[in-house]
């Protein structure tokens, strides 16, 4: 970690170097937009505007995962902290850290020294969220990390003392293709010792109508979030996408147990991506896949965790089994 880049007097913020080479935005866009079918990686949704739009999605009545996970954390945070007794808690894709408050409150109630390490790709969000946390919890320590977890976690150096807990909420593991999800779980296991803990949220398989509604809210937050990736490409790669020329579409692919988000061209068009020196022809109805969100069965959850070196210890679920919060132990 490069500690020379500390930016805030109240808590350290480090930029985590990638362990494996990460494709640049230009490389990802070249690979994804020029292939058939076309795709874009979801991490580019999250510029500052995208990160706040995601917060808006979480408030929508159709988006049950946030409510379900919040309720599970509220009900079980004390037990989770009692079981894991972490000295260090690393949260990947921490975003606003809003749900994490339940875990931090439990840590304070148990009066155990804890350092919280939020890790996210969106600098503004981490800085903002951690500044609030520092004021809210004078009893705890904070160390913010900025990085891209798809490049591995070898650059995350947690101090040796005390048990560790890694947290991955929001069903974010579902955004990875199966082989990448296994890699992510293995990367997390590599940061831990035997007996350390991993708390991870999984969205469960359920009926298509509810799944599709969750990714297509009536107010249009998800549509705006989806189209925001085109604003990112316009700004960063000198492209000329007209976001209004695309429709947001969310479909549940039951064969692959995943919701797919697409941007569908409303008309034929040619888009220029200046930084790539490319003119891309899209025909009416052609779609760009911008995100997958995989849904899990209990067996799928256990298998994924086992493949990375974890054993499921508890699976907390709501009465309807909409969502699972799983506490796993490194073995
Ligand atoms: C689905 S949101 C979940 C946010 C929060 N944990 C929650 O449960 O509400 C995914 C979060 O991961 C972050 N993220 C996405 N891709 C990332 C990457 N490659 N590396 C690090 N963080 C990433 C986003 O900025 C965002 O905050």
Tens-place pLDDT, residues 74-131: 999 999 999 999 999 999 999 999 999 999 999 999 998 999 999 999 999 999 999 9
Q: Decide whether any atom of ligand 1 lies within 6 Å of the 59 Cβ.
A: no
Q: Would 121 be classed as within a structural domain?
A: yes
Between the CA of 68 and the centroid of ligand 1 the distance, in Å, is: 18
Between the CA of 133 and the centroid of ligand 1 the distance, in Å, is: 18
Q: Would 2 be classed as within a structural domain?
A: no
Question: Tokens 């699976």 belong to which residue?
Answer: 315
Tens of pLDDT, residues 32-90 = 999 999 999 999 999 999 999 999 999 999 999 999 999 999 999 999 999 999 999 99
pLDDT at 112: 86
**How many other C-beta atoms lie within 10 A of the C-beta of residue 92?**
24
Q: Whose CA is nearest to atom 14 of ligand 1?
A: 93
Q: Would 37 be classed as within a structural domain?
A: no
Mutate to test the pocket of ligand 1, among 67, 120, 183, 202 (most ligand atoms within 8 A of CB): 120
Q: Decide whether any atom of ligand 1 lies within 6 Å of the 172 Cβ.
A: yes
In this structure, the chain runs to a length of 331
Q: Would 1 be classed as within a structural domain?
A: no
Between the CA of 76 and the centroid of ligand 1 the distance, in Å, is: 22
DSSP readout, 23-34? --HHHHHHHHHT
Q: Whose CA is nearest to atom 16 of ligand 1?
A: 43
Q: How many domains in the chain?
A: 2
Mutate to test the pocket of ligand 1, among 14, 121, 215 (most ligand atoms within 8 A of CB): 121
CATH code for position 160:
3.40.50.150
Which band of pLDDT confidence, cut at 50, 70 and 90, is reported for residue 2? very low
> In whole angstroms, what is the distance from residue 222 CA to residue 213 CA?
10
Residues 303 and 287 both lie in one domain: no
pLDDT at 10: 78
> In whole angstroms, what is the distance from residue 329 CA to residue 47 CA?
33
pLDDT at 195: 97
pLDDT at 5: 47
> In whole angstroms, what is the distance from residue 135 CA to residue 142 CA?
11
Q: Would 156 be classed as within a structural domain?
A: yes
Residues 166 and 307 both lie in one domain: yes
Q: Would 161 be classed as within a structural domain?
A: yes
How much is the mean pLDDT over the chain? 95
Residues 140 and 284 both lie in one domain: no
Residues 178 and 237 both lie in one domain: no
Tens of pLDDT, residues 175-206 = 999 999 999 999 999 999 999 999 999 999 99
Q: Would 29 be classed as within a structural domain?
A: no
Residues 180 and 249 both lie in one domain: no
Query: In sequence order, what are the residues at sequence separation of 6 or more whose Cβ sits closer than 8 angstroms to the Cβ of residue 318?
Result: 68, 71, 72
Which band of pLDDT confidence, cut at 50, 70 and 90, is reported for residue 4? very low
Residues 154 and 277 both lie in one domain: no
Residues 134 and 175 both lie in one domain: yes
Q: Decide whether any atom of ligand 1 lies within 6 Å of the 187 Cβ.
A: no
**How many other C-beta atoms lie within 10 A of the C-beta of residue 30?**
17
Pairwise pLDDT comparison (3 vs 211), residue with the higher score: 211
Q: Whose CA is nearest to atom 10 of ligand 1?
A: 93
Between the CA of 303 and the centroid of ligand 1 the distance, in Å, is: 23
Residues 230 and 117 both lie in one domain: no
Give start and end residues of each alpha helix (H) in the chain.
25-33, 48-58, 64-84, 101-109, 123-136, 178-190, 208-214, 221-237, 298-307
pLDDT at 161: 87
CB distance 263 to 226 below 8 Å: yes
Residues 132 and 92 both lie in one domain: yes
Between the CA of 175 and the centroid of ligand 1 the distance, in Å, is: 10
Q: Decide whether any atom of ligand 1 lies within 6 Å of the 76 Cβ.
A: no
Tens of pLDDT, residues 159-177 = 988 999 999 999 999 999 9
Residues 261 and 124 both lie in one domain: no
Q: Which of 167, 5, 18 is nearest to 81 (CA)?
A: 167
pTM of the predicted structure, to 2 decimals: 0.94
Residues 104 and 118 both lie in one domain: yes
Domain span including residue 252: 217-294
Q: Would 148 be classed as within a structural domain?
A: yes
Between the CA of 78 and the centroid of ligand 1 the distance, in Å, is: 24
pLDDT at 33: 95
DSSP readout, 83-142? HH--SEEEEET-TT-TTTHHHHHHHHHTT---EEEEEES-HHHHHHHHHHHHHH-TTSEE
Q: How far is CA 222 from CA 59, 60, 326, in A?
A: 11, 9, 26
70: three-class secondary structure by DSSP: helix
Residues 234 and 310 both lie in one domain: no
pLDDT at 3: 42
């Amino acid at each position: 970690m490069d500690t020379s880049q500390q930016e805030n007097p109240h808590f350290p913020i480090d930029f985590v170097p990638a362990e494996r080479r990460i494709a640049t935005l230009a490389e990802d866009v070249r690979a994804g937009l020029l292939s058939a079918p076309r795709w874009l990686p979801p991490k580019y949704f999250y510029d500052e505007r995208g990160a706040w739009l995601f917060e808006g999605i979480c408030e929508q009545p159709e988006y049950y995962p946030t409510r379900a996970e919040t309720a599970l954390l509220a009900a079980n945070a004390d037990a989770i902290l009692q079981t894991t007794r972490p000295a260090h808690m690393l949260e990947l894709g921490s975003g606003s850290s809003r749900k994490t408050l339940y875990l931090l409150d439990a840590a304070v109630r148990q009066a155990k020294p804890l350092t919280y390490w939020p890790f996210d790709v969106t600098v503004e969000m981490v800085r903002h969220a951690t500044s609030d946390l520092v004021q809210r919890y004078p009893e705890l320590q904070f160390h913010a990390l900025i990085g891209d977890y798809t490049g591995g976690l070898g650059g995350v150096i947690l101090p040796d003392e005390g048990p560790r807990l890694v947290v991955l909420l929001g069903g974010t593991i579902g955004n990875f293709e199966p082989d990448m999800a296994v890699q992510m779980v293995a990367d997390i296991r590599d940061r831990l010792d035997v007996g350390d803990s991993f708390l991870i949220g999984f969205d469960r398989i359920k009926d298509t109508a509810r799944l599709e509604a969750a990714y297509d809210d009536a107010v249009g937050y998800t549509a705006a979030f989806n189209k925001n990736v085109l604003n990112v490409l316009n700004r960063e790669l000198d492209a000329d996408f007209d976001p209004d020329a695309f429709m947001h579409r969310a479909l549940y692919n039951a064969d692959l147990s995943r919701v797919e988000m697409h941007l569908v061209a409303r008309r034929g068009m040619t888009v220029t991506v200046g930084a790539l020196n490319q003119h891309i022809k899209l025909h009416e109805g052609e779609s760009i896949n911008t995100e997958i969100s995989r849904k899990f069965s209990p067996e799928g959850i256990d298998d994924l965790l086992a493949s990375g070196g974890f054993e499921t210890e508890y699976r907390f679920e709501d009465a309807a089994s909409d969502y699972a919060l799983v506490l796993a132990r490194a073995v």
